[in-house]
Structures are given as structure tokens and as C-alpha cells.
Amino acid sequence: PENGSLSIIVLGASGDLAKKKTFPALFNLFKQGLLPSNEVHIFGYARTKITDDELRDRLRGYLIPKKGGSSKDLETVSQFLQLIKYVCGAYDAEEGFRLLDKEISKHEVSKHSENGLSRRLFYLALPPSVYPSVCKMIRHYCMNKTDLGGWTRVVVEKPFGRDLASAEELSSQIGELFEESQLYRIDHYLGKELVQNLLVLRFANRFFLPLWNRDNIDNVQIVFREDFGTDGRGGYFDQYGIIRDIIQNHLLQVLCLVAMEKPISLNPENIRDEKVKVLQSIDPIKDEEVILGQYDGYKDDPTVPDDSNTPTFATVVLRIHNERWEGVPFIVKAGKALNSRKAEIRVQFKDVPGDIFKCKKQGRNEFVIRLQPSEAMYMKLTVKQPGLEMRTVQSELDLSYGQRYQDTKIPEAYERLILDTIRGDQQHFVRRDELKAAWKIFTPLLHKIDDGKLKPLPYKPGSRGPEAADELQAKVGYVQTHGY
Ligand code: BG6
């Protein structure tokens, strides 16, 4: 294992993402002994003029357990906070980054005498508009001292651009400064337990191997619902909309894992090669296979323009043009302010040919993978209704993680992904060509929406979204099943 000094630098340390996700994830790793305090130093960098203690005080509330926590918990929080130092500076200011480098180096010196490694992990919890300048500053002033060994890695968050052209521009700017192997583009859906499980499910189970194709599968749904609206993030959200916020990244990544061919090995490059092929095989989206929605009340947010055309809901049918999936619609749906909070994959099988039980009425076989909440997988199948009569009923084979793995705490996505970054494993990060292919699929549609050529339908908060979306799903072949 590598050891020596590990410096984790969170840029944008006083922002929302850092407080809610990055620092809590680091804290969870620390709690599990994965960030040993004799090796690790954490730095917060931002423009706000505050002291180390002020930053620590701001973070404390996000780290202590919701129910207050025991004195031991509070002690662990304090130990963690002591690892954090704050450096104040602008995102394009040489002085700030020189100072940051000086602070990092101070801690490294004492460790180098032992084993010489200097590892620097820069986490950009920042808006993408400042990525190029921040990356330039890191490149010029804050790289690890290579003569001592070790590495410098940079983690960037979405949105990476607004469309194909802007994403490519951003990629080229950053690509001139860092090698692809140093760049970790986070998509936190790739850190979710059941998303990580997809490869195992598909390629380690004989059950699925012969069935996972157009001969047996009728359609696949990938669904994201939230039961709250933009919640004070209206200004940010309005510039992006649901397709850029959720579908082009999170749901498309999930789709790749559901649809990809078996990689030749678990090597991250082999896996990402297969994902790119799926993306490159997706046909252009047809206007008639898109339904957009905007919930009533969305524009009441004072930071959202009165004439906003931004969708808060979308159902899009994606069609993969290859031997495995030709003719199978992938129905991808995401919405805010809906009736529930849920993310799931539904693989719906075709009807049984020559059905002697008339069981079609009971619904089709479905394999459902619930990513959240309450991780689970279940298979809907038709069984005989127990009793004297020969009747069929739809039932479930159910693997609920809460019951089956009671004693295992499922790690947070960010926690896992930060650990991957430290370990240098890029499997669960988006490669540049994947990003490009993903933008290519959605850019024509996004431009039509931006130009007002496609308009969202209104829907009531707390509903299922526009009815037209259910109609589209039914039109392309999804059969609604009830219950479960
Ligand atoms: C983020 C989006 O990437 O994902 C948010 O910007 C969304 O709008 C969030 O709420 C959903 O993440 P999760 O893990 O709660 O499903």
C-alpha cells in the first residue's frame, strides 16, 4: 500500500456541496480508519475570509449525527476537524495558490523523511466556470513535488459544460493541463451500491446471461423521481434543467451499465470502453419520443425567470442501435416535485408465447432494481395462487438489502468515490470520450428546448408528472403492472 503524506484539498470549501457531501464523506472515511491522521491533512480553500476555526465550526453541524450523538461521536468529529486547515484566496490568484502550496508542503516535509511520497488530491467543489483557471493554478503552483514520488489528482463535479461544444472546450482546456489518468470526473450515481452491483448481477449470474437481450426483454425503464422541487436551488437549476441535471449524466451512466457488453476484464479502461460503445450506438432522439414537464409553482421562485422554458420533468425514449438491443426502447424518466422519491431500473420482459394461463392479465415478468431509497432487487413473476383453484397471481422474489444485509452499513456514494480516487481506481469515473458521447446524444434536443421549440407541459406538484408521459411509455410498449 502507498503511504507517506496525503493532502486532500477541497476547493470551494465554504460552499454547499463541500459542506453537505465532500466533508461528510471525508469524515466517514476518517471514522473508519481509512484516512489515518498521521498521514492525512485536509485543506479547505475558498474566497471567504474566515479562520481555521470558523470553517471547522461551519462544518461541525454537518458531521455530528442528527440525533446529537454520544460524547465519543463528538470527540471523533473534533479529531477530524483538527485535520482541517483553511487557506483563503481567489480562484485565479497566484498568491492564494502559492500560499496553499506552502501550507501543504509544510505538512509533507516531516513525512518525506520517512518514505518520500507526496500525494495531493484536489477536489473541485466549484462551479465549472472556474475549472480552467483553478486547474491552471494547481498545475503551475501546487503540483506534488514529483522528485519525491507520489501523485496529483483532480476531482471535478458535474455539470461539465452545457452541450457538446462547451463540454469539449472545457475538456480541452483541462486536458492541456492534466493527463486523463489524473482527472476524476465524478458522477455520484456510479458510487451507489446497486449501481456498482450491476456488473456483478449481469455477468456473474447464469440466469441473466441468455435473457438479457432483444429476444426476451421488451423494454427497460430507468426512472428518477424526487418528491421535492428545486428547493432554493431554482436559480442554478433553471440554467440547466432536468436533462442536464439528471438524465444526461446519472441516468445515462446507469443505462450504460444495464446495456453494455461484457468487458474483457474489470480493468477500468475495459469497462469504460464498453460503456462508450453503448453511448455511441444510441440513435438521435425523436421529438415525438420526448415529453417535457414543468411543475406548477416552479416559476414562483424569485430566481427563476417568469418565462422560463426549463423542464423539471422529462421522459425520453433512447434506442440503442446494436445487435443486442435493436427495437428495445429504453425509457428514461426524471422529475422533480413528483409523488415519491425513488430511483429504479425496471427491466420488463416480453409476454410468454402461447400463454395457456391467460396470465397476461397479471402483468409481465419484471426485474426491478431499486437504487434508492431502501436498496432492493425483486423479480415479479407469475405463480399459482395458493389454494384449491388453478389461478395465477403475480408475486415477487425479493432481495431487500435492509433485511438481507442488516449488519452492513451501505456506504455513501461520495465516500466510496473519494476512496477510489485515493486508490487511483478510475472505474467509477466518467472518461472524456464517454462525456463527449453523452453530450452528443442530448445536444440537439437541448438546443431545441433552449430555443423554445419544445415546451414543457404543466403538471401538479405531487403528481406522477404529465399524463402524456404515461401515454408515451404505453405507446412504446411498457405495460403498467400494479401492486408492489
Ligand atoms: C444531483 C442533482 O446531481 O443529484 C440534484 O444536481 C439531485 O438535483 C441529486 O437532487 C440527486 O441525488 P441523489 O443521490 O439524492 O439521488
Digit-coded pLDDT (tens) for 85-130: 999 999 999 999 999 999 998 888 655 445 567 899 999 999 989 9
Q: Whose CA is nearest to atom 2 of ligand 1?
A: 245
Cα of 224 to ligand 1 centre, how many Å? 9
Taking phi over 0 as left and psi of -120 to 50 as alpha, with beta for the rest, 463 belongs to beta
Instruction: Please determine, for residue 232, whether its predicted confidence score (pLDDT) is greater than 90.
Output: no
Element (H, E) at 445: helix 432-450
Mean pLDDT (whole number) for 162-168: 96
The whole-number pLDDT of residue 148 equals 61
Ligand 1 centre from 192 Cα, in Å?
12
- The answer to whether residues 303 and 280 touch, using CB atoms and an 8 Å cutoff, is no
Q: What is the mean pLDDT of the chain?
A: 93
- Supply the residue whose CA is at minimum distance from atom 6 of ligand 1: 245
Q: Is 85 exposed, middle or buried (0-12, 13-18, 19+ CB in 10 A)?
A: buried
Return the beta strands (E) in 404-481 as ranges: 457-459
Tell me the average pLDDT across 236-263: 97
Q: How far is the CA of 396 from the centre of ligand 1 (A)?
A: 29
| Pairing mode, strands 40-46 and 84-88 | parallel
> For ligand 1, is residue 245 a contact (CB within 6 Å)?
yes
Catalytically annotated residue among 41, 188, 250, 428: 250
Check pLDDT > 50 for residue 484: no
For strand 366-372 and strand 376-384, is the pairing parallel, antiparallel, or unpaired? antiparallel
Nearest ligand 1 atom, CA 413: 14
Which of 33-47, 281-295, 365-379, 466-480 shows the lowest per-residue confidence on average (mean pLDDT)? 33-47
Mean pLDDT of 231-253: 94
For the segment 328-351, the average pLDDT, to the nearest whole number, is 97
Q: Is 187 in the pocket of ligand 1 (CB under 6 A)?
A: no
Least confident of 22-26, 105-109, 231-235, 309-313: 105-109
Q: Is the distance from CB of 342 to CB of 223 less than 8 angstroms? A: yes
Nearest residue (CA) to ligand 1, atom 5: 245
C-alpha Rg value of the chain to the nearest Å? 24
Cell of 134: 483553478
The reported pLDDT for the residue numbered 466 is: 98
In this structure, the residue with its CA closest to atom 9 of ligand 1 is 246
Pocket mutation for ligand 1, best pick of 188, 231, 242, 298 (most atoms within 8 Å of C-beta): 188
Q: Is the pLDDT of residue 312 over 50?
A: yes
Tell me the three state secondary structure of residue 151: strand
Backbone angles phi, psi at 228, to 5 degrees: -135, 160
Three-state secondary structure call for residue 185: strand
pLDDT, average across residues 169-192: 96
Ligand 1 atom closest to Cα of 343?
Answer: 16
Q: Whose CA is nearest to atom 8 of ligand 1?
A: 245
The three grid cell numbers given for residue 274, joined into one nine-digit string: 464498453
Is pLDDT larger for residue 146 or for residue 56? 56
Q: How confident is the model at residue 233 (pLDDT cuts 50, 70, 90)?
A: confident
Q: What is the average per-residue pLDDT within 384-400?
A: 92
Q: Is the dihedral of CA 431, 290, 344, 326 positive or negative?
A: negative
What pLDDT was estimated at residue 115?
58
The answer to whether the CB of 412 is under 6 A from ligand 1 is no
Distance, CA of 337 to CA of 459 (rounded, Å): 9
**Strand duo 392-400 + 40-46: pairing:** unpaired
Residue 250 annotated in active site: yes
From residue 99, alpha-carbon distances to 13, 93, 105, 112 in Å are 16, 10, 10, 20
Whole-number Å distance between alpha carbons of 72 and 371: 32
Q: So what's the pLDDT on residue 73?
A: 86
pLDDT at 1: 44
Rounded mean pLDDT of 217-231?
96
Task: Return the pLDDT at 168.
Answer: 96
Q: Among the atoms of ligand 1, which is closest to the Cα of residue 189? A: 14
In whole angstroms, give the CA distance from residue 124 to residue 156: 5
The pLDDT tens digits for 63-76 are 988 777 788 888 99
Atom of ligand 1 nearest to the CA of 226: 10
Predicted local confidence at residue 372, as pLDDT: 95
Q: Please tell me the predicted confidence (pLDDT) of residue 196.
A: 97
Q: How far apart are the CA of 477 and the centre of ligand 1, in A?
A: 28
**Structure confidence at residue 116 (pLDDT):** 61
Of 6, 203, 223, the closest CA to residue 122 belongs to: 6
User: Residues 363-375: what's their mean pLDDT?
Assistant: 95
Give the pLDDT of residue 72.
86
Would you give the distance in Å from CA 288 to the centre of its chain?
Answer: 28
Question: Is residue 300 pLDDT above 90, yes or no?
Answer: yes
Three cell numbers written together for 102: 506552502
Confidence of residue 267 (pLDDT cuts 50, 70, 90): very high
Share of the chain above pLDDT 90, in %: 83
Å from CA of 241 to ligand 1 middle: 12
User: What's the mean pLDDT in 143-147?
Assistant: 72
Pairing of the two strands 366-372 and 342-349 = antiparallel
Q: Return the pLDDT at 145.
A: 72
